Structure 1
Amino acid sequence: MIPAIVFRYPSHVCPECRAHLIAYKTERRIVRSYSMGEFTAIHRIMKCSNHGTLFRSSMLESLVSPHCTYANDIMVEAAMGRFIKGYSCSEISAGLNNSISESHVRLLSNRGMDILMEIHEENIPRLKDAMNSYILQIDGTTDSEFSMVIVVRDAISGFTLYAEKCHSESFESVKDILVKVKKNFKIPSGAISDMRAGILEALKHVFPEIPIRICLMHFLRDLGKDLLSDMHTDLGIMINKIGIKSPLKSLLRSIPAYNQSTLYEVEQGFCTDRKGMEAMSVRKILESILSVNGSSGYGFPFSLNHLNFYLSCMEAEKKLNDLSSIIKDEDSLKFLNTAINKIERITKNSAIKETADRLSDINMLFQKIRNAFRMPEKGNLSDIIEDDDSIQEKCDIVTGEMEIYLHTNIPNHMFTAAKHIVAKYHERKAMLFANNPEHTIPRTNNNMEQFFRKLRRNVRKRCGNIATGNILAQSGVSLAIFQNMDNPEYVKIVFGDKDIPSVFGKYRKPFKKPGMTKNRILKLIDTGTDMMLNDSLPDTPYNDKMMDKANEARSMNVY
């Protein structure tokens, strides 16, 4: 039995003339709510006995929009689940457990996302007042041939301020976006961006009075690619041509697995299975080669996988040679010799060795400037910099040392690399350390990249890789703005203590296809058919009666 809830205007008298309200009409409909479940809404509409004004229940209208079955909180919940948590429509439909279809979840969630765009635009003055100052972050995302979505955020609050679809990050496109941001949110106290020329030029043009910082991560990434990319690629090609990884994997599969009983004995200081212990020793060395990654989490050029593989082969060769003098079991010795023969195809190759040595030399210089910027080997790169001056001083010392190298007898590849590092550092130095008096400009644009990764991951999880670019091109702007719903401070400023679904409900309109309803179509077809049968369906909107009235009006002289 579905429960019934009665809704009516809270007063018995008209607020305008104080006349008594009388019952006008009672409406019944099924309502499905996320918080209240399914119920029958009995809406008693009242009427002023004096001037006939109708009064409806504001409580019901805040709960569910007219002509809608699913309440406003279902719309908000569906949009949050789909665009913040990344659930598919089928997952949301099953989770709500109220007979809502996948297609209706899609319609409701899309409507919720569009509504927040309206709410955001209307609350720009409120957001502007709440942000005493802000740090402008700007970046764009795109997939292959699809349009680019450029997003502007505040690095301090994490608010997404503005988003727009355009064809590229050209000066003109970015300038137009920044002009709108300046108009809506005043002048920022600073800006952070990657090193794309169009963005930097537009920032300087629109905000000539603010410090503009370039992302440290982008600077180091571009610098590392210039120094290491070609040589690292060549090393990978040479290693892959020799092709020792598959034979080593095959050899590893033939070696017995780790025996914990033997290891328990070793833990006690003895071993009754010397043969098994020898095989396990060889196995562990091979696993260290095949599992080598050395990734810092930042990707290339901060992680050099091909060089790491070569170095692991060098280390494994030494360990296997040391082990060969003490192994007694024939099978274990056979495993060891086979492994050494395979590995030596890499370590004894003169071209590989020469390339790896040169790559190591250049990487040593790259690591010096990286460490000067206090970029950790692994983990998250913190944007919190307490002392920019000391970092700049360290970078000046490192580049100064490299300038001294240039006047010494160093190999040509190191000379070229050191010269490039010094030149790029001095070219970008001012923007690498630009900051405002409050020192609130972050040193990287990483949270923008994390923001875009979250958007792409959200879409990819729901729709798959193939559709990601197309969907971002179609709804990326709304999706970027909707991420503000995951920011408690934004929600507090925009909605205050109001009920969020009720606010969304004020903008909600019932789903209605353009044109006539099906009943109206069928009724008019019947009317037209009858008129044709009665020979009363003319081929012009004019008839004799209308023409007579027109002539009569024309002949009248009215002064």
Structure 2
Amino acid sequence: MPRVKSLAPHRCTFGYDVIVYVGYALFVHCRSEKDIVSELARKNISISDREVSFLGKKFVTYLAVAHRESRQKIRSAMDQRGGYILHVDGTCEGDSPHLFTGLDGIAEVVLDNIKIPSEQSELLIPFFEKIKGQYGDPIALVHDMGKGILSAIAAVFPGTPDFICHFHFLRDIGKDLMEDEYKKIRNRLKKHKIRGSLRRMAKSLERTAVQDRKVMEQLNAGIKHGDVRTGAEMSIASAFALIQWVFDISAELNGYGFPFDLPHLAFYHRLKTVYTLVEAIWESPHKYEKTHKPLHKLFRLIKPVMADQTLKRSAKALDKKAEIFNALREALRIALPEGKNGLNDDGDDTDMKTIKEKVAAFQEKLKSEETLSKRDEYKKMIQQIDTYWDKLFADPISVHTATGEQLIQPQRTNNILERFFRDLKRKYRKKTGTISLNKTLKTILSDTPLVKNLENKEYLDIILDGCNTLEQRFARVDSKLVLQELDKKRKETGRLPQILKKMIREPAFPRKLGELFGC
């Protein structure tokens, strides 16, 4: 009997080896349930999609129990490094619950997770208190600017160095500064339906423009060497190429998203550039040459957009705001206009003292410009910098480690968690084949992010606790406890009990319910 117990959990058809295989296949290798069924069938193991899904939940629960049983050792490992820096963040989609995670930024180990309806302070305080009780006070915290997070941290970790993510800070400031003008530009462009008009024109030109490779080669040679021919085919190819250039705005973007990237503004400016060019051709002595007809048509398509004074004013205003916003990006040395790291940008290696001085100089310059500093949007920008000043600049923190005194520099961003959530979502999209993860976030267990820790060898050694494999470690966990945990976790999934689902799908359900009350 002891031998059988070590191979399979209580009331489980499948052994620990299958549970671990399924867990890794689902959460590490992003296999779908159907793929795993096929893989196991080749190993002469008959299993259904539903059973695979359930074993995945069992894997997460066994891992969560092993994690909890190892907390003291995890804390000891942290103490050896001088403590931990707590990064906190959450993710959601649509009306899904918020999957909220606390992670040690030094070891990059997930410490705890929770699913909550929203990131309100009263929901986060118990979560933070739990982490504090289990791992002690962190040496610092890094997070975004959510009011609930700020309030909960102030309540649970008073006096602990507390820093906001520079990327989130910039993003929030940029949105407040530029969102209104940006929306105006987007809406005006949409009203003109210029994108659709250009696409239709490009489609009508495409066959002639690209079917003869020589025409494109001649156009390319002309651009490089100035040897231009103005035949009909060349005019068609030129108009087609200009339209493609207008749409190729990704060349100007850096992958940061709004407000760092302004694709609608970039699109407008490219339209303006093309308009200026074709306007010059339109006003040239060759105005009525038939060979220029496609370029003339392009001119007429763009002209109403260029005549839109509201659009013109908004673009001019946004250009100025973008210039000021970019100056702040330069001062903070992160998400730089010329940067290519996209959402993975952690900022450059400029020391914090220099960054602090540059941000102070930026703020003083903005205050000194009377025409700007009196406007509400710039007043708000200055106020935001003042409000978060103490949370922006993290000096190195001196800590006691097993090898002596060391300085630890808190990260300038919360990208460690942002990347973690992006990776989690990418894996689930790969596994499910769906873009929206609303349903997934409703149904996955809150402890699922712990799977990420399995990539960390030190962490894996800790939770194995002398065992050679996860199968052996899971066999030491009380399987009845796992079943109890799973039963509790069912409340997290947001799924309705089967009996209730059947009941509400009964024909005339409201009427029948009313009859119970004599209605």
State if a TM-score over 0.5 links the two structures: yes
Q: Deviations over 1:320-371 (max 9, x none)?
A: 3455659799554110000011111111222211111111112211111112
Equivalent position of 2:89 in the other structure: 139
Change (3 A) 1:267 1:343: closer
Q: Give the deviation of 1:166 after TM superposition.
A: 2.8
What is the CA–CA distance in structure 1 between the aligned matches of 2:229 and 2:198, rounded to whole Å?
A: 28
For residue 183 of structure 1, what is the aligned residue in structure 2? Answer: 133
**Structure 1 residue 291 corresponds to structure 2 residue 248:** yes
The answer for the alignment partner of 2:16 in structure 1 is 72
Q: Conserved in 1, the CA contact under 8 Å of 2:333 and 2:348?
A: no
2:502 counterpart of 1:502: no
1:483 aligns with 2:435: no
Q: 1:104 offset after TM fit, Å?
A: 2.7
Q: In 2, are the aligned partners of 1:317 and 1:340 still within 8 Å (CA)? A: yes
Deviations 1:111-137 (A, max 9, x none): 111100110000101111111221101
Whether contact under 8 Å (1:292, 1:309) holds in the other structure is yes
Provide the secondary structure at the position in 2 that maps to 1:421: helix
Decide which of 192, 204, 216 is 2:166's aligned counterpart: 216
CA offsets per residue over residues 252-287 of structure 1, 9 Å max, x none? 112223333345566597799944333222211111
Q: Which has the higher contact order (CA 8 A, sep 6+)?
A: 2
2:259 — aligned with what? 301
Matches for 1:439-450 after TM superposition, within 5 Å: 439-450=408-419
Contact kept? 2:60, 2:447, Cα under 8 Å: yes
Inter-CA distance 386–394: structure 2 relative to 1 (3 Å threshold)? closer
Cα pair 1:163 1:480 within 8 Å, conserved: yes
How many Å apart are 1:461 and its aligned residue?
4.2
Residue from 166, 173, 177 that aligns with 1:227: 177
Contact 2:114 2:127 in 1 (8 A): yes
Q: Who is 1:546 aligned against? A: none
Matches of 2:483 and 2:324, distance apart in 1: 65
Partner of residue 25, structure 1: none
RMSD: 3.2
Change (3 A) 1:287 1:144: closer
Q: Deviations over 1:3-57 (max 9, x none)?
A: xxxxxxxxxxxxxxxxxxxxxxxxxxxxxxxxxxxxxxxxxxxxxxxxxxx8x65
Equivalent AA in structure 2 for residue 500 of structure 1: L
Unaligned runs of 5+ in 1: 1-53, 515-559
In the TM superposition, what whole-angstrom CA distance separates every residue of 1:51-81 from its partner, at most 9, and x where no partner exists? xxx8x65xx7655558866442321121112
- Choose which of 104, 120, 123 in structure 1 pairs with 2:51: 104
Q: How many residues align?
A: 454
Tell me the secondary structure at the aligned position of residue 209 of structure 1: coil
1:317 counterpart = 2:269:
no
Q: CA–CA distance in 2 between the matches of 1:411 and 1:210?
A: 36
In structure 1, distance between residues paired with 2:302 and 2:160 = 57
1:110 match: secondary structure? helix
SS of the residue corresponding to residue 442 of structure 1 reads coil
Question: 82, 94, 113: which one pairs with 1:163?
Answer: 113
Deviation of the 1:199 alpha carbon: 1.5
Separation in structure 2 between the aligned mates of residue 490 and residue 371 of structure 1, nearest angstrom: 38
| TM-score for the superposition, normalised by structure 1 | 0.73
Measured in 1, the distance between the counterparts of 2:96 and 2:386 equals 36
Amino acid paired to 1:485: L
1:92 aligns with 2:36: yes
Q: 2:374 matched to 1:405? A: no
**1:260 corresponding residue in structure 2:** 213
* Distance change (3 Å), C-alpha of 1:239 and 1:262: closer
Bigger proportion of residues as helix: 2
Q: What do the CA deviations read for 1:191-220 (whole angstroms, capped 9, x no partner)?
A: 001112222222223222321001112211
Structure 1 residues 276, 118: CA separation in 2 closer, same or farther (over 3 Å shift)?
same
Partner residue in 2 for 1:282: 239
CA–CA distance in structure 2, aligned partners of residues 103 and 171 of structure 1? 37
Q: Deviations over 1:296-339 (max 9, x none)?
A: 22211112222111111111112334556597995541100000
Aligned partner of 2:357 in structure 1 is 393
Amino acid at match of 1:313: L
Task: Tell which deviates more after alignment, 189-198 or 76-85.
Answer: 76-85
Q: How does 1:406-445 map to 2 (within 5 A)?
A: 406=370, 410=371, 415-437=375-397, 438-445=407-414
Change (3 A) 1:271 1:193: closer
* Residue identity in the other structure for 1:396: A
- For the residue of structure 1 that corresponds to 2:272, the secondary structure is helix
Find the residue that maps to 1:156 and give its secondary structure: coil
3-state secondary structure, aligned to 2:446: helix
**Which of 326, 344, 351 is 2:310 aligned to?**
351
| CA deviation profile, 1:209-262 (whole Å, cap 9, x unmatched) | 321001112211111111111111112111211112212111111222333334
Q: Judging changes above 3 Å, is the alpha-carbon distance between structure 1 residues 463 and 508 closer, same or farther for their aligned structure 2 residues?
A: farther
Counting only pairs closer than 5 Å after superposition, residues 544-559 of structure 1 correspond to structure 2 as none
Segment drifting more, 159-168 vs 138-147:
138-147
Alignment check: 8 A CA contact 1:228 1:362 kept: yes
Q: 1:68 to 1:210 in 2, by over 3 A?
A: closer
Hey, what does 1:8 align to over in structure 2? none
Contact 1:278 1:327 in 2 (8 A): no
Deviations 1:413-439, CA, capped at 9 Å, x for gaps: x84443332222122111111344234
Q: How does 1:528-543 map to 2 (within 5 A)?
A: none
Counterparts of 1:189-200 in structure 2, within 5 Å, are 189-200=139-150
Contiguous gaps of at least 5 residues in structure 2 = 398-406, 485-519
Name the CA shift for 1:84/1:326 in 2 (closer, same or farther; >3 Å).
farther
Question: What percentage of residue pairs aligned between the two structures are identical?
Answer: 26
Distance (Å, rounded) in 2 between the aligned partners of 1:220 and 1:199: 18
CA contact (8 A) 1:191 1:213 kept: yes
- How far the C-alpha of 1:187 sits from its partner, in A, is 1.6
- Note the C-alpha offset of 1:160: 0.7
Paired position in structure 1 for 2:516 = none
Q: Is the 8 A contact 1:88 1:462 kept in 2?
A: yes
Kept in 2: contact 1:115–1:508 (CA 8 A): no
Measured after TM superposition, the shift of residue 172 of structure 1 is 2.6
Is the CA contact (8 Å cut-off) linking 2:216 and 2:237 kept in structure 1?
Answer: no
Deviation at 1:162, TM superposition (A): 0.8
Q: After the TM superposition, which of the residue ranges 111-120 and 66-75 deviates more from structure 2? A: 66-75
The 3 A distance-change label for structure 1 pair 295 and 94 is farther
CA distance 1:189–1:83, change in 2 (3 Å): same
Q: Is the 1:135–1:190 contact (alpha carbons within 8 Å) kept by the matching residues of 2?
A: yes
Q: Kindly state the Cα deviation for residue 290 of structure 1 after the two structures are TM-superposed.
A: 2.6
Which residue is equivalent to 2:325?
366
SS in 1 for 2:410: coil
- The answer to whether the 8 Å contact 1:372/1:395 transfers is yes
Q: Pick the aligned partner of 1:456 from 419, 425, 447.
A: 425
